[in-house]
Amino acid sequence: MLLLTYKSKYDFNELKIKLESLMIKKGMKIFSVIDHTKNASSVGMKINRSILYIFGNPRNGTLLMRQDMRIGVILPLKLLIWENENKELQITYYPLYDILKEFKLNDEGLAMAKNIDNNIIEMLKEIVVE
């Protein structure tokens, strides 16, 4: 499992605004935003700030799922914004291609997954420290 984790250039609120703007600009739809910190607080517990974005492009997802419906357990894409123990803001993404190699995809489907990953990584370069 290869998780990609980057350090953010921005503070928490600014990062959320910039990330959401980039996702929309790149033609992605934000399906849900899960605030893990708020959920922990709702049961009387504390964790560092953490927000999970569930997002993607419905057209691309549908094309992939037409090849193997089980991909629906993986899609939509997920991206986590979180604070580490030093209060440094991190962004973590799990590359789609690495996961989808286990499914019944043709070469076109695998190439699409690789392209999706490349687009996400390029998008992240605008908001992370390299």
Share of the chain above pLDDT 70, in %: 99
Residue 47 domain flag: yes
Residue 50 domain flag: yes
Asked if pLDDT for residue 130 goes beyond 90, the answer is: no
Residue 6 domain flag: no
How many separate domains does the chain show?
Answer: 1
What tens digit of pLDDT does each residue of 62-81 get? 999 999 999 999 999 999 99
Residue 11 domain flag: no
Q: Which two tokens stand for residue 98?
A: 């690495």
Share of the chain above pLDDT 90, in %: 95
Residue 118 domain flag: yes
Asked if pLDDT for residue 1 goes beyond 70, the answer is: no
Give 52's strand partners.
34, 80
Which CATH number belongs to the domain containing residue 92 in this structure?
A: 3.30.310.70
From the list 2, 1, 6, 4, the residue with the least C-alpha distance to 93 is 4
Residue 48 domain flag: yes
Residue 86 domain flag: yes
Domain hosting residue 56, numbered range: 21-129
